[in-house]
Structure 1
Amino acid sequence: MSRLVIVSNRVSIPERSGAAPAGGLAVALQAALEERGGIWMGWSGNSSGEEEPGPLDLKERGKITYALTDLTKTDVEEYYHGFANRVLWPICHYRLDLAEYGRKEMAGYFRVNRFFAQRLAPMLEEDDIIWVHDYHLIPLAAELRQMGFRNRIGFFLHIPWPPADVLFAMPVHEEIMRGLSHYDVIGFQTDHDLENFAGGLKREGIGEALGDGVFSSHGRRFKGAAYGIGIETAAFAKFAQKSASHSMVKKARESIEGRDLIIGVDRLDYSKGITQRIDAFERFVQDNPEQQGKVTYLQITPKSRSEVPEYEAMQRTVAEQAGRVNGALGQVDWVPIRYINRSISRPILAGLYRMAKIGLVTPLRDGMNLVAKEYVAAQDPEDPGVLVLSRFAGAARELSGALLVNPYDIEGTANAIARGLAMPREERRARWRGMMDFLLEHDVTRWCDDFLKDLVPASQA
């Protein structure tokens, strides 16, 4: 059986051998690595300042070697804060207006990918299977191919892939598309993302679909498919049930004083539609005055990429907006919106999901959105809540029991909140059951297995 080598921008290292890291993705990838043995390489999150980074920091955990590298201050600014998060991220989320191009940052992005390849190369064996993750590392396969490696290399994109007219506005889209052609398997979250990719090949005249998910581009053949990522569904459901007795969850339940809880959980990012969501909640309360004092909207939004000016400005905007709504609608004994701008531990979060009558997941664009899946998995089967979900989240392609909304339609989202709160228990149970059955079958382990089944040849399985 061939070794598995995973490369991602950041690496999740368990504290001790055999310990599972937090989060379903890390759990699944660690399990695959434990089965095959292998390497997980990525950025340590640290900067070496202006000096060249030292050697790889190698940490052994059972059959897995975790290989971490520092980056220089310039690398972090140009590769991570620059091109990855100020060009690729907004472009892939359809926000041309927020993309900031700079030749220096573009060069830094490709330079750091070359650096990753150079650091990885001495550790690779001839029959290793390499799995690269996300938009930070699109050119990595091309760098390895140029160094002479012929290993099977797969790539999975965790965020959306935009249509041709959006992608082609990026000055280096040709290099990005050429870089993808050096993989053997390219995975997307949804069939829509795959269609956008295929459409870009055709529109640009640089490739074609050959059938059965096989594509040809830049003289290479490769497979492209949708592999919607899941969560550790059964484990999270048990986790949420147990978390209901957590002391902090009990305090939260007491503090809302019998009111219906509406919950939103998002990293602070302009793609998440948080300001539109607050507007929708305000409209809901205004349109349903009988609900004043009877609902509490809890928005949990940890800070994100605060070094990037746009994110710092957004943090102020969301806080001010929540304050404005509370000032306009609040009463002496009722604060409509509770806004928390920090991370909440997973046990408490699971318990809060289970308490909430409405899970409000309304991104303007999202590759999948695992909060939606965690909310469903956390529910009490006898009395589940209702998921209000943006039709522009990848999860909308899978969770047919959700109330789908257009997050730009403030009134429509407000109406969905009202409908969810008034929904009879039998309808809620029927909607939840269909979604939960899907999530149990299509969990994160199934996602991992499906991708590796296409990437690993039978001779190396």
Structure 2
Amino acid sequence: MNIDSRSRSTRGDCADTGRIVLVSNRVALPGETQTGGLAVALAAAMDDGPALWLGWSGRIASDARLPLETMRAGRLEYALLDLPADDFEAYYHGFANRVLWPLFHYRIDLVDYHREQHEAWLRVNRRFAEALAGQLRADDTVWIHDYHLIPLARCLRELRVGNRIGFFLHIPMPPPDVLCALPAHRDLLGALACYDLAGFQTRADLDNYRHALRQQGIASHGRSGAFPIGIDVEAVAAQARSGEAERAEHELRASLSGRRLAIGVDRLDYSKGLPERFRAFERHLESGASSAGQLTYLQIAPPSRTRVPEYQDVRRELEGLAGHINGRHAKPEWTPIRYVNDSFPQPVLAGFHRAAAIGLVTPLRDGMNLVAKEYLAAQSPRDPGVLVLSRFAGAAEELAEALIVNPHDLDAVAEAIDAAAGMPLRERQDRWQALMARLRGNDVGHWARHFLDTLRAEPPRCGGGAITTALPGPHAGALAGVSLR
């Protein structure tokens, strides 16, 4: 059964033989170091091919109507489009990352809305739609990713594209009272409702979306569900056993002078709660706990969006905190906090994770946070470390055996650090085994297959459909098929 190119209301069922067409702001090309969770997840999801991945080339062009650049690697094809400088600046640095990013992370105070940037965001989405429409085949299934491209399905429908179209939001979905701070919130919700399937990281995100639709009286054109994203568990575990990882682990352990390691690996972003984490570690140093003074905290924080003022502010704050804490607590042979603004290859990070007795993942708000899962997958089964995890990370919904903390409660985080440092081996092993069983049961391949199978399960709807949930794994029996008119 094939998807034909007729209108959505008259087409037949979808076959499994068509291509998967992924669309995201950026594309992880073959040979590039993949550092972002989205890039790693999408690259893994495309392994089965045939597939097309379309996104921005990374280049600025004076003529946005230049032909797409295409390339192929095995069964995977890549299509790259250039963008005009003015539109890119307003679309990416402006509306996407100074309006949607803070808003969706519950930071209304950082939203800097300008109508012309919103219009540029819409223009760029139309440019993506025009580029994509020229690449589509009748039986392709389109899977669009993340907040940059929310209006893309509506733009494609305006071009009379009849293919089945799904969307996955990798960041949190805020509740209606936060979302309505955006002047164009109703338009944004209407764009999300145009998808045949809208996917979210957690049940809470899904509930926020459904509540917002009901509150605004917007009818969904398709279905919605929670699809918590996973990692390639066995690949990360294999990386942690590789020669490159073993060398990184050995060198890092040797530098600790007998102390144990706590590690954080985060993009330098205000949503990650790094200033709060630094202060919580200082509380731990001052607590008088038995482990105080026996831990070195390594924070790896590669800079991102360096042109955005709020990111410059958080970098300055962290540099000041690291200097202050080390100045007060360091000894000639020991520096409590090692703060590194650099990125590392995945095998090296896996080695660092394996060396760490404690993984600190304490964002103020996060869609999922795959670092939490990567930390667990990199551990040695014989002597696993302990994950300290924010309740406001999407991963907390799955990883109940981690030490779950409120990142705003500095004393509670400090106490969790001490509890992790003193946890007996048998308890660490039991917690880790339970967490790993859950990670293996919902790895990145399961996530991609479940989303795509759900998207292909029914013909697209042209409007007025019920909002139904589609939750994988243990949640499916409880919530799948719930219909809200």
Shift of 1:365: 0.2
1:145 aligns with 2:157: yes
Identity %: 51
**Who is 2:102 aligned against?**
90
Residue 268 and residue 332 in structure 1: after superposition, are their counterparts in 2 closer, same or farther (change >3 A)? Answer: same
**Which has the higher mean CA deviation after the structures are superposed, 243-252 or 95-104?**
243-252
Matched, 1:55 2:67: yes
The amino acid across from 2:348 in the alignment is: I
- 5 Å-filtered alignment, 1:207-222, equals 207=219, 217=220, 220=221, 222=222
CA distance in 1, matches of 2:177, 2:167: 23
The offset of 1:35, in angstroms, is 3.4
Whole-angstrom distance in 2 between the partners of 1:85 and 1:410: 28
Q: How far does the alpha carbon of each residue in 1:357-409 deviate from its partner, in whole angstroms, 9 at most, with x for none?
A: 11000000000000000011111111111100000000000001100000000
Q: Sort the Cα spacing of 1:67 and 1:171 in 2 relative to 1 into closer, same or farther, 3 A.
A: same
- The corresponding residue for 2:136 is 124
TM-superposed CA distance for 1:53, in Å, is 5.3
Change (3 A) 1:305 1:24: closer
Whether the 8 Å contact between 1:2 and 1:36 is mirrored in structure 2 is no
Is 1:160 aligned with 2:172? yes
Aligned partner of 2:415 in structure 1 is 415
Distance 1:198 1:234 in 2: 35
Contact 2:263 2:359 in 1 (8 A): yes
Question: CA shift at 1:249, angstroms?
Answer: 2.8
Give the counterpart of 1:194 among 195, 206, 229. 206
Alignment of 1:360-379 (within 5 A): 360-379=360-379
| Residue segments in structure 1 that go unaligned for 5+ positions in a row | 208-216
Which sits farther off after the overlay, 121-130 or 446-455? 121-130
Q: 1:104-115 maps to which residues of 2 (within 5 A)?
A: 104-115=116-127
Greater CA deviation, 353-362 or 197-206?
Answer: 197-206
| Separation in 2, partners of 1:383, 1:269 | 31
* Alpha-carbon distance in 2 for matches of 1:292, 1:434: 28
Instruction: Return the match for 1:15 from 1, 9, 31.
Output: 31
CA distance in 2 between partners of 1:284 and 1:438 (Å): 30
Q: Distance in 1 between matches of 2:47 and 2:398?
A: 29
- Whether the 8 Å CA contact 2:291–2:418 is kept in 1: the answer is no
Q: Pick one of 18, 21, 36 that aligns with 1:5.
A: 21
Give the letter aligned to residue 20 of structure 2. L
Asked if 1 retains the 8 angstrom alpha-carbon contact of 2:240 and 2:246, the reply is: no
Residue 322 in structure 1 maps to residue 322 in structure 2: yes
Q: Once superposed, which parts of structure 1, at least 4 consecutive aligned residues long, lie more than 2 Å away? A: 20-36, 50-54, 241-249, 288-293, 457-460
| TM-score, normalising length: structure 2 | 0.88
AA partner of residue 156 (structure 1): F
CA contact (8 A) 1:24 1:444 kept: no
The Cα shift of 1:243 comes to 5.0
- Structure 1 distance, partners of 2:131, 2:115, is 24
Specify the SS of the correspondent of 2:318.
helix
Structure 1 residues 307-364: Cα deviation after superposition (integer angstroms, max 9, x where no partner) = 1111112111111111110001111111000000111221111011111111000000
- 1:44 partner amino acid: S
Maintained 8 Å contact 1:93/1:366: yes
Alignment partner, residue 211 of structure 1: none
Aligned to 1:283: 283
Aligned residue number for residue 213 of structure 1: none
Q: Which of 39, 58, 78 does residue 52 from structure 2 map onto?
A: 39
Q: Give the Cα–Cα distance (whole angstroms) in 1 for the partners of residues 276 and 243 of structure 2.
A: 30
C-alpha distance in 1 between matches for 2:324 and 2:66: 49
Tell me which amino acid in the other structure corresponds to 1:195.
Answer: D
- In structure 1, the partner of 2:78 is 66
Partner of 1:297: 297
| Aligned counterpart, 2:475 | none
Deviations 1:96-141 (A, max 9, x none): 0000000111000001000110111111122211000000000000
